Structure formats: structure tokens, C-alpha cells
């Protein structure tokens, strides 16, 4: 979600201090309502704050429920009027133990951190053991700019060996407007969750029989995959790409040559011991493409050589990080490798950046994006192949190319691939959810490991340089992003069903069937709602499935050889001759509306 510190009038530190101060106010309010509670810790976190409590004692075994949050909020707003400054004072270990003698959690913290110096923070009648980081005055807290969101369980100090506590979460911003925007985005995120919509729209599933992180695409989901792939193939052919195909497994020797063994071994599936060698599922397409390039000599006249592949790869992601389509174990990449000379390198990378912009901005309407430029950490030489000279050259070229592209970027030291610097495109959906859409790298190292050369105009051999690029990333992640970005209402050209035909009564079955056949003959994806239901129910069902157009067929439409058109988001568009309707649909598909 968005970092609202960037758009608020407060700087980030002050906003965090505000949130930490609200954690104190939360603790004070809870103790007013549940005096027996034992408070533990309450830090500021991204977008808000929380405080952990132990509500169980010999006499009391329960604390607040989610339905009680409004009571705590009311108490917090009531108490603000009695609070003024947040005053910090140093305190000795002896006095701290005396002050918190009835709280075993605070006593544990005092024992652990006492030799580093202790302090307390006072506001109103409330005193808490705290290192600080607060606003100067409680008057900076706007009563309508914070909200308690939910209650959850949390082990003391994050260890399952310790007692389960009650954690109360809240969110806070400088203004009510920012809070309202954040809460709207949270609600929208729930509605747009691609996992939820994926089931409702019948796009993909996961099966325990197949395994976690390995999606099964339905008929409708496969339409989206195929349309994306078809479009990318047509587009990239115009940009000078040629297509290749490579296997899903290979000998360990290939991945040793590429450097994935040992640099990337932990993210690969275990090897398979066969009679002739150990084989691995490929985690990347690049080693295969390097081997393909190496099979024959190449002249400078062929370069740049842009080899594209929709290649399926497999990575052993830990189960804890799997997340719907956004983080999976098997996925298909819109991949390509550009084999070029050093002189061609920078211009080719600029063109890669332009292709990204065409896809994101011009086709999918994604306006908010930037490049995360990942460079090596020079102090950690064991994590990166090659030498300083090669890395300096690669980093210089990629920085220059990104600057020439005009795309905003941020540097990330230490996050480069083991074989080269990379430029990750970070895209944001309409609800401000950010995802890494693609990874693009400049690589001097892997081609050298494969001994890739070309013959120059002087008749001598020269080293090849490779650009790795994947503008649409993986189908899985990109489609997951698009589901949320469009809230499942895909543009016409991508929609699994483009037109729903719905006859009002069985008397129109014959004409409706003719329309369905004519639409299909024109290459339009159509679904016939011919079940024995009311027309209202048919329309509602098509709208829930987010079908772009509904062609309603009644007695009047049958006689006029027309259709009554309903358009998603716009409602009834009136009657239209069938030929005109087909012409309209085909035009919108062609221009990618």
C-alpha cells in the first residue's frame, strides 16, 4: 500500500512519532476500561500502531473483542483533552522496578535493557516505560484522523514458547482525508483481491493434489493468458524479436556453467538423479538460451539478436511467502535475451525501457510506475560473479540507459543479480498496490561463462553481451495484478467472455442461437444465457461475471434483426442492428479498449 508519509504535510519521523504517541493513548484508554490488563509494548508500524496486552488474571479471563473497538476509540478521544505534553524522564532500574512491580512484562524489559539506561514518558495521568519518539503535544492528534481496526493474537516477544497476548491495531494519519483515503483503499483491496475474484470469475484454482504455488488455469483464465501471449508475440515481432523454445529440465552441467549452481541453488528444486546425469527443473530460461546461441558461429551482421520465449520455470518458494498468483512456484515468463555488442548495449537497453512504457502506459493504462535499479554491494564479493571492471562497466551502462529513458528510478544497493545489475519495474494499481512487474538485467558474466563470441568486421572474435528482459514478467503475477487493477472488469480484448447473449423467453431461442453463432464466426467470445430464468436474473449474473456487453433478445429485437445492448458500467445503450453491434465490438477489440 502507499507510504502516506510521502503525501502528508508531516515528515516521516514526525508521523511515526504521532503513531507511537497514539499507542500510548490506546494503552491508557484500555487500562481505563480494563484496569486488570497488563500492558506490554506498543510501537508505531507502517500506517499505524498497535499495543499488546495480557488480559488474563486469576479473576479475569477475557478482554475486548472487535465489537468493543469503538468503545476504546471513544475513550481515547475523550482522554486527549486531558493530555498535553509527552514528557520523557530518565529513571533508575530500582525506581523502574518499583513503578512496574505488578507487571512481569515490564520487569523483563527492565532486566534486559537496564544497563543501557531506562526512561519513562508521561502524558496526562499515564506513564509508560519507553525510549521515546513522541510528538510534543497531544493537541497534534486529530480525533478524526485515527481508527482502531482489529484485534489479533500475538505471542509475547514473537516466540511460540511465550504466552499469547491480545494485540489491538490502529491506523493513523495527519488528517481525516488521508485516513479516509487509506480506509477506502483497504476496502477496495478486499473487493479486488485477485484470489477472491479468481474464484468468483472462474479464472484459476489451486489444488492440494497438485501442490501449493502451482496454479491450475480454467478455460476462462486460459483465455486471458493466451490473449496476453498472442499480443506480446505480435508486438515483439514488430520490435525485432524472434521466437525460440527450450526444455523444462536440463543437466546440472548447464546450471553449473551459468552460475545458478551454486549461486541460486537454494531457490531451485532438488536435482533428479537419472542414469546419465543429475537433472534440474529450470528456474531461469537464460541458461537454455545461452546454450542455444552457442550452437553455431555468429557474425556482427546478425546483431543485435533478440531471442524471445514464453518459457515456464520452477522455483522453490518457501510456503510462507506464497501468495495467490503474485508469488508462485511455477510460472510462465514473457522472456527474451538480447545478444549484442558493447557498442549496441546502451541503445538496446533504452529500447527495452521504451517497450515497457508502451505496454504499461499505452496498453494497460498503468500510469504510476518507476524503476528499482539494483546494484551490487561491493563489500560482499562472494554474492556476485565477475570482477570489478565488468561490474563497473555494466552499472555505468544501465544507469546511463535508464536516465536517457526518462523513467524515474531509485537505487537499491546489494540487490543485483549474481551476474549483473538489474532494473525492476515497480507498477502500482489504482488502489496503490505496488508489484514488481518485470526484471531486466545487463549481463557480461554469464555469456563469458558460456564462451559466447561473435565475429567482428575485422574477422576477429569478440565477447557477446546479453540483456535479460521480461516486460510482462510472469503471466501469473501480471494477471494477478491486472485482476486487482481492473477489479476483474477486464478491457474488452482481454475479457474471457466479451458478449453475453440473453433471450427473454424461449420463443427467442432460435434467433438468439443465430446471434451466438454469428458472433463466434467473427471471433468474438460469447456466452449464451439460455437457462430457464427471468431476464433480470440473467442480466445480474452476466454483470456479476463482469461481461463487457450483454445482448438482450426479445420479441421486438427478433423482428428487427437487432439486439438490445447493455454495456458494463453504463447500462442500457438501446437497440442496435446486429451488423453494427459486431462492427462496434471488433473495432474496440482491435484498438485494445
CA-CA distance, 244 to 292, in Å (whole number)?
9
Catalytic residue flag (residue 333): yes
Catalytic residue flag (residue 335): yes
Active-site pick, 422, 433, 475, 538: 422
Active-site pick, 19, 20, 329, 333: 333
Peptide bond preceding 383 in cis form (omega within 30 of 0) = no
In a 10 Å sphere around its CB, with 0-12 CB exposed, 13-18 middle and 19+ buried, how is residue 184 labelled? Answer: exposed
| Helix 388-405 vs helix 342-357: crossing angle, to nearest 10 | 40
CA-CA distance, 193 to 200, in Å (whole number)?
11
Active-site pick, 52, 54, 128, 335: 335
Contacts of 381 (CB under 8 A, 6+ apart): none
Which long-range CB contacts under 8 A does 577-582 form with residues at least 24 apart?
A: 578/515, 578/518, 581/551, 582/518, 582/519, 582/522, 582/524
DSSP bridge partners of 70: none
Which long-range CB contacts under 8 A does 328-332 form with residues at least 24 apart?
A: 328/213, 328/214, 328/215, 328/474, 328/476, 328/477, 329/211, 329/212, 329/213, 329/214, 330/213, 330/214, 330/215, 331/474, 331/475, 331/476, 331/477, 332/225, 332/474, 332/475, 332/476
CB 298 within 8 A of CB 454: yes
CB 305 within 8 A of CB 293: yes
CB 316 within 8 A of CB 328: no
Within a 13 Å sphere around the CA of 102, how many CA atoms are in the beta-carbon half? 7
Catalytic residue flag (residue 410): no
In a 10 Å sphere around its CB, with 0-12 CB exposed, 13-18 middle and 19+ buried, how is residue 156 labelled? Answer: middle
CA nearest neighbour of 26 among 10, 9, 40, 5: 40
Q: Which three cell numbers stand for residue 326?
A: 503474485
Say how many Å lie between the first and final Cα of the chain, rounded.
27
Active-site pick, 337, 356, 433, 525: 337
Residue with cell 531471442: 307
Active-site pick, 315, 475, 485, 546: 315
Residue with cell 514528557: 87
φ, ψ for residue 278, nearest 5 deg: -95, 130
CA-CA distance, 96 to 110, in Å (whole number)?
7
Contacts of 316 (CB under 8 A, 6+ apart): 266, 267, 268, 269, 329
Residue 538 CB: number of other CB atoms within 10 A? Answer: 20
Catalytic residue flag (residue 468): yes
| φ/ψ bin of 413: left (φ > 0), alpha (ψ from -120 to 50), beta (otherwise) | beta
Within a 13 Å sphere around the CA of 31, how many CA atoms are in the beta-carbon half? 17
∠ CA 10-12-376, rounded to 5°: 145
Q: Enumerate the H helices of 173-327 as residue ranges.
A: 176-192, 194-200, 219-238, 252-258, 260-263, 286-293
Catalytic residue flag (residue 315): yes
Q: Which three cell numbers stand for residue 502?
A: 440473453
Active-site pick, 52, 147, 286, 340: 286
Active-site annotation, residues: 286, 315, 333, 335, 337, 422, 468
Amino acid at each position: 500500500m502507499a507510504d502516506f508519509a510521502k503525501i502528508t504535510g508531516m515528515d516521516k519521523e514526525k508521523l511515526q512519532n504521532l503513531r507511537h504517541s497514539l499507542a500510548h493513548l490506546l494503552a491508557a484508554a484500555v487500562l481505563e476500561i480494563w484496569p486488570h490488563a497488563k500492558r506490554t509494548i506498543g510501537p508505531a508500524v507502517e500506517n499505524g500502531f498497535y499495543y499488546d496486552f495480557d488480559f488474563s488474571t486469576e479473576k479475569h479471563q477475557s478482554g475486548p473483542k472487535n465489537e468493543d473497538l469503538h468503545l476504546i476509540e471513544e475513550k481515547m478521544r475523550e482522554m486527549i483533552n486531558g493530555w498535553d505534553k509527552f514528557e520523557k524522564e530518565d529513571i533508575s532500574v530500582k525506581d523502574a522496578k518499583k513503578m512496574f512491580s505488578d507487571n512481569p512484562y515490564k520487569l523483563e524489559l527492565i532486566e534486559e535493557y537496564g544497563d543501557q539506561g531506562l526512561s519513562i514518558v508521561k502524558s496526562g495521568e499515564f506513564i509508560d516505560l519507553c525510549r521515546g519518539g513522541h510528538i510534543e503535544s497531544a493537541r497534534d492528534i486529530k480525533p478524526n484522523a485515527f481508527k482502531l481496526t482489529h484485534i489479533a493474537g500475538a505471542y509475547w516477544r514473537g516466540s511460540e514458547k511465550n504466552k499469547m497476548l491480545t494485540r489491538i491495531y490502529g491506523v493513523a494519519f495527519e488528517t481525516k482525508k488521508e485516513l479516509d483515503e487509506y480506509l477506502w483503499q483497504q476496502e477496495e483491496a478486499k473487493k479486488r483481491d485477485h484470489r477472491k475474484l479468481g474464484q468468483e470469475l472462474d479464472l484459476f484454482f489451486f489444488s492440494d493434489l497438485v501442490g501449493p504455488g502451482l496454479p491450475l488455469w480454467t478455460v476462462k483464465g486460459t483465455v486471458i493468458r493466451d490473449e496476453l501471449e498472442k499480443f506480446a508475440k505480435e508486438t515483439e515481432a514488430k520490435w525485432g524479436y524472434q521466437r525460440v523454445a527450450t526444455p523444462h529440465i536440463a543437466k546440472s552441467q548447464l546450471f553449473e556453467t551459468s552460475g545458478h549452481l551454486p549461486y541460486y541453488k537454494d531457490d531451485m528444486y532438488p536435482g533428479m538423479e537419472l542414469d546419465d546425469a543429475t537433472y534440474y527443473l529450470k528456474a531461469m530460461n537464460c541458461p537454455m538460451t545461452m546454450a542455444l546461441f552457442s550452437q553455431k558461429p555468429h557474425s556482427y551482421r546478425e546483431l543485435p539478436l533478440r531471442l524471445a520465449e514464453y518459457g515456464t520455470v520452477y522455483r522453490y518458494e518457501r510456503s510462507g511467502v506464497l501468495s495467490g498468483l503474485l508469488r508462485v512456484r511455477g510460472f510462465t515468463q514473457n522472456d527474451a535475451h538480447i545478444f549484442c555488442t558493447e557498442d549496441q548495449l546502451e541503445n538496446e537497453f533504452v529500447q527495452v525501457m521504451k517497450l515497457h512504457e508502451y505496454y504499461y502506459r499505452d496498453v494497460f493504462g498503468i500510469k504510476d510506475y518507476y524503476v528499482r535499479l539494483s546494484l551490487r554491494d561491493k563489500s560482499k564479493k562472494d554474492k556476485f560473479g565477475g570482477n570489478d571492471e565488468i561490474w563497473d562497466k555494466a552499472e555505468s551502462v544501465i544507469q546511463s540507459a535508464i536516465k536517457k529513458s526518462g523513467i524515474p528510478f531509485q537505487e537499491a544497493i546489494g540487490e543485483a543479480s549474481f551476474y549483473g545489475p538489474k532494473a525492476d519495474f515497480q507498477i502500482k494499481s489504482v488502489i496503490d498496490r505496488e508489484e514488481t512487474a518485470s526484471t531486466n538485467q545487463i549481463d557480461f558474466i554469464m555469456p563469458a561463462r558460456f564462451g559466447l563470441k561473435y565475429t567482428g568486421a575485422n574477422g576477429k572474435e569478440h565477447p557477446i553481451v546479453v540483456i535479460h528482459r521480461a516486460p510482462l514478467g510472469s503471466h501469473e503475477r501480471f494477471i494477478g495484478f491486472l485482476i486487482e487493477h481492473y477489479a476483474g472488469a477486464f478491457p474488452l480484448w482481454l475479457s474471457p467472455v466479451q458478449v453475453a447473449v440473453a433471450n427473454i423467453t424461449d420463443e427467442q431461442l432460435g434467433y438468439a442461437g443465430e446471434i451466438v453463432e454469428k458472433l463466434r464466426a467473427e471471433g468474438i467470445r460469447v456466452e449464451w444465457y439460455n437457462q430457464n430464468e427471468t431476464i433480470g436474473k440473467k442480466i445480474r449474473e452476466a454483470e456479476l461475471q463482469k461481461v463487457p456487453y450483454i445482448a438482450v433478445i426479445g420479441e421486438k429485437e427478433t423482428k428487427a434483426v437487432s439486439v438490445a445492448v447493455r454495456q458494463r458500467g453504463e447500462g442500457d445503450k438501446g437497440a442496435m442492428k446486429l451488423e453494427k453491434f459486431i462492427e462496434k465490438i471488433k473495432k474496440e477489440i482491435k484498438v485494445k479498449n
